[in-house]
Structure 1
Amino acid sequence: MSEQALHVQKPGWFTVNVFNRTVAWMTRRGFSVWGSRVLEVRGRKSGEWRRTPVNVLTLDGRRYLVAPRGHVQWTHNMRAAGGGRLVLGKRVEEFTATEVVDDAEKIAVLRGYLKRWKAEVGVFFGGVSADSTDEELLAIAPKHPVFAVTRAQGE
Structure 2
Amino acid sequence: MDTSTRYLRPGKGDLLLARVVAALTRRGMSLWGSRILSVRGRNTGEWRSTPVNLLDFDGEQYLVSARGHTQWVRNLRVAGTGRLQVGRRIEAFGATEVADDEKVAILRAYLKRWQFEVGRFFDGVGPKSGDDELRRIAPGHPVFRVS
Do the aligned residues in 1 keep the contact of 2:27 with 2:86 (CA within 8 Å)? yes
CA distance in 2, matches of 1:148, 1:83: 11
- The count of corresponding residues between Structure 1 and Structure 2 is 147
- Opposite residue 67 of structure 2, the aligned amino acid is R
Taking structure 2 as the reference length, the TM-score comes to: 0.98
Who is 1:15 aligned against? 14
Matched position secondary structure for 1:41: strand
| Structure 2 portions without partners, runs of 5+ | none
1:1-155 matches, cutoff 5 A: 3-5=3-5, 7-16=6-15, 18-101=16-99, 103-150=100-147
Give the RMSD, CA atoms, in angstroms.
1.1
- Tell me which stretches of 4 or more aligned residues in structure 1 moved more than 2 Å: none
- How big is the shift at 1:3? 3.7
- Opposite residue 54 of structure 2, the aligned amino acid is V
- How big is the shift at 1:22? 0.2
Taking structure 1 as the reference length, the TM-score comes to: 0.93
| Structure 1 portions without partners, runs of 5+ | 151-155
Do the aligned residues in 1 keep the contact of 2:3 with 2:137 (CA within 8 Å)? no
CA distance in 1, matches of 2:106, 2:4: 18
